[in-house]
């Protein structure tokens, strides 16, 4: 299965097994996957790469900010980046999210993530 539109996706997830699994799945369907273990690492990646299409971030993680704060900062810096927020602890109303932002509750199926990326890219 190949995604409709290839994207550069930055995965921000503090759980290594989840991060590596998502990275593998996205690369298998033709996306370019970058990774960060927390928001601070994600900011370093974003400063070095202007080609990131999608930020895929968990809400709860260690570091100077959580995923929601990261999403707000990224939105202010780079308004065209599409954002997917995920959490198993917090439920966000998809209707309350800014444009080009989606919420994917954990646990999610990889197919749901791929479909969300495809819909944000189209």
CATH number at residue 51: 3.40.50.2300
E-state strands within the chain: 8-12, 32-36, 54-58, 82-87, 101-105
Provide the domain limits for residue 104. Answer: 8-108
pLDDT in tens, the chain (122 residues): 444 469 999 999 999 999 999 999 999 999 999 999 999 999 999 999 999 999 999 999 989 999 989 999 999 999 999 999 999 887 777 766 777 899 999 999 999 999 999 999 98
pLDDT of residue 34: 98
Domain-embedded: residue 117: no
Name the pTM for this structure.
Answer: 0.92
Within 32-109, residue ranges assigned H as helices are 39-48, 67-77
pLDDT of residue 96: 65
Domain-embedded: residue 32: yes
Domain-embedded: residue 113: no
């Amino acid at each position: 299965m190949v995604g409709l539109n290839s994207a550069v996706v930055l995965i921000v997830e503090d759980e290594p097994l989840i991060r590596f699994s998502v990275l593998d799945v996205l690369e298998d369907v033709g996306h370019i996957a970058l990774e960060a273990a927390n928001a601070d690492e994600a900011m370093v990646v974003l400063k070095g790469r202007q080609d990131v299409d999608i930020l895929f971030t968990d809400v709860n993680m260690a570091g100077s900010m959580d995923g929601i704060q990261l999403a707000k900062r990224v939105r202010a810096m780079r308004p065209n980046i599409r954002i997917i927020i995920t959490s198993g602890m917090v439920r966000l109303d998809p209707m309350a999210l800014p444009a080009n932002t989606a919420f994917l509750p954990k646990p999610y199926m990889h197919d749901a993530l791929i479909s969300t990326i495809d819909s944000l890219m189209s």
